Structure 1
Amino acid sequence: MSAESEKEAAARAAAALVRDGMTVGLGTGSTVKHFVIALAERGLRNLRCVATSPATEEQARGLGLPVEEFDRLERLDIAVDGADQIAPDGWIVKGGGGAHTREKIVAAASNRFVVIADASKVVDALRAPIPLEILPYGATATLAALHPALPRDAPPSPDGGLIADFHGDVSDPDALAARLSAMPGIVDHGLFPPSLTSDVIIARGGEIERRAR
């Protein structure tokens, strides 16, 4: 089974968790594209969706899913997103698409945060790079303080932040996450702690692996 087929299988498994009337957070990325399609195909009633990027919002609206501003909702029933890396201890790296700040906000506001992935995203240990969103003001100084970190040749985040990557040691993700979160100039980083994720759905060939917190 190809990686794209695995993404589709994981996405369909996640879409099966959504029920009529739910508030749903839609992540960003290639795997989420499959989820949005699978969700739309289910034809559920009275959904209220929130998108983490303009690209996801455009796709969802085009498939007939109702998308509204997140400011109208205090909590979400469920959010589904992809991953760049999934470690055995539950730490996850996200942000390849530059929307990790919004993705983390949506995940934290969800009663159930489900991560979907193909088998290639499973790693023995997290490794660099770790995506960052930084404020444009003082960006050069922020990157210098983070050494080694480099700006990414990529569009800004959906909220105008610059996208960069940390290329240093990732052997202690808990300590690194605390360091990055405490540094002025960093809006947020792509390290998602195990406590944030309710379920991980991984497609391996023709099998679906489920990891629950």
Structure 2
Amino acid sequence: MSAVEDFRRYFAECPLVAIVRGVTPAEAEAIAGALYRGGIRIIEVPLNSPDPLESIRIIAAKFGDRALIGAGTVLDPSQVAEVANAGGRLIVSPNANTSVIEATVAAGMVSSPGYFTPSEAFDAIRAGAHSIKLFPAEAATPAVVKAQKAVLPPNVPLIVVGGVTPESITGWLDAGADGFGLGGGLYKPGQTEQATLEKARAYVAALGGQ
């Protein structure tokens, strides 16, 4: 399957994106394994992590046939090829840089740029984004998502990123959010494999309560 087809399949199975900022190559396989056992099928290693391309390479080699692995905090189009060469198939950015989006699409990878305003969202979608992430969600409310969903294309998933807790998931979903990017609430640098598994299961269980 293509990266986009895998994204849609995994996102439908579990609409959570794990953001493992700060993970090291030595920990990468164990942490990814905990996330996978917890039910999460989409994992991004931010490029401001220690040796991120090596972590992506390790995780993709182990889980790339059953999960979607990629990079976050991608700020420049040149980084897209580097991530692809490491086995990544997902490019996530904090902003709506259309050059990065277009490079991602051209490479056959999944583009998930960040946005905050409707103008940014529409620019990203026009450039080919496969999903858009509302970031930072701490500065927004479910009412913002509800208003934006009324005008945004329904076939482009809206992913809420920033400060999401298992307890807050219901409010966002009720407003129309399609999924969530989970950072510090799911993984912090140095966190154990067991703690990562428990947190992943808590978020997945919160989805199941809907």
Q: Which has the higher helix share?
A: 2
**TM-score normalised according to structure 2 size:** 0.37
Bigger radius of gyration: 1
Q: Which has the higher strand share?
A: 1
**TM-score normalised according to structure 1 size:** 0.36
